[in-house]
Amino acid sequence: MILIDADACPVKSEITEVALRRNMQAIFVAGSYLRLTNHPLIKLFVAGDRFDAADDAIAEVARPGTVTITADILLAERVIRAGGAALDPRGREFTETSIGETVASRNLMHELRPGMEGMTGGQGGGQPPFGPRDRAAFKNALDRILTRMAKG
């Protein structure tokens, strides 16, 4: 099963394509209604607009054998602790080995951000624009994880 933190997910169509090709269920979890491909394997769960409602809903069902697509590092950490796999929309897999350092870096940047605004003119760096290479890297990474999981 593929679980998707769907509100800001830029790879919805790629996930749908992979899920249908592999005959796997994909559950898109969002704060409100999203238009998705009409197919029995593609589901939408509206978690509501409460803060972290979608994250909490995903974390509740994440377990070994599930893959969660999210850019949210703290959700990825929860998924990994539950035994699931986590992948960001650019194709980076979060693992038990990497998640601790990733969370620590996220927390450090969160703490530094307010003090750095004056040094950068109030402009953050952020990620480069999302493009075709990112989409291809994501699909390849998702296929790799699903193949690994299928082998047991």
- 65 token code pair: 């054998």
Residue whose C-alpha is closest to residue 4's, from 104, 147, 142, 144 = 142
CATH code assigned to 2-151 = 3.40.50
Taking only the tens place, the pLDDT of each residue in 67-96 is: 999 999 899 999 999 999 999 999 999 987
Residue whose C-alpha is closest to residue 17's, from 32, 35, 39 = 39
Taking only the tens place, the pLDDT of each residue in 129-145 is: 889 999 999 999 999 99
pLDDT at 26 > cutoff 90: yes
List of residues 6+ apart from 88 with CB closer than 8 A: 69, 70, 71, 76, 94
Query: What residue segments make up the domains of the chain, in order of their start?
Result: 2-151
CA–CA distances in Å: residue 138 to residues 46, 53, 65, 105, 152: 24, 25, 19, 22, 21
pTM of the model: 0.83
